[in-house]
Structures are given as C-alpha cells and as structure tokens.
C-alpha cells in the first residue's frame, strides 16, 4: 500500500477514534463495540487497537473492573 494511502487510512482512523478519546468519562467498552461499524479493514483494526489500549489502561487504573 502506498505511503499516501496508509497516511489517509491513519487519518481516517484517528478521526473515528478521537471523539471517543475526547469524551469525558466515556465507557471504554462502548469504544470497542463502536469499532465493529467501520467497514475499512485497516481503519477497523486501528480502532480496535486504540480502543483496546484505552480499555486496558482503564482496567489497570481501576476505572473499570471486569468481573
């Protein structure tokens, strides 16, 4: 994939992920679920990677407890 295309996919993924990252006390589980709606495979993977990182951080900090 050409570098320009990868850059475009990255920008698109950030545009999709950024609103969730900026929301106050957003539910990190909702962020993961929202990624399912993304059609582009690379953008969806980028979304899952970013939201999984936020979910892991929330778990480590105690903001979310998984039972």
Please state the domain extents for the chain: 3-61
Confirm whether pTM is higher than 0.85: no
Question: Once rounded to an integer, what is the mean pLDDT over residues 29-44?
Answer: 94
What pLDDT does 1 receive?
A: 59
Q: Return the residue matching tokens 């990624």.
A: 35
What DSSP line would sit under the chain, residue for residue? Answer: --HHHHHHHHHHHHHHHHHHHHSTT--HHHHHHHGGG--SHHHHHHHHHHHHHHHHHHHHHTSS---
Convert the pLDDT of each residue in 1-33 to its tens digit. 565 566 566 656 656 655 555 545 678 889 999
In this predicted structure, the answer to whether residue 53 has a pLDDT above a threshold of 80 is yes
CA atoms within 13 A on the CB side of 20: 22
CB 21 within 8 A of CB 40: no
């Amino acid at each position: 994939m050409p570098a320009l295309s990868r850059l475009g996919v990255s920008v698109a993924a950030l545009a999709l992920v950024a609103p969730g990252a900026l929301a106050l006390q957003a539910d990190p589980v909702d962020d993961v679920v929202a990624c399912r709606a993304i059609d582009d495979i690379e953008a969806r993977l980028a979304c899952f990677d970013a939201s999984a990182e936020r979910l892991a951080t929330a778990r480590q900090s105690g903001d979310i407890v998984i039972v």
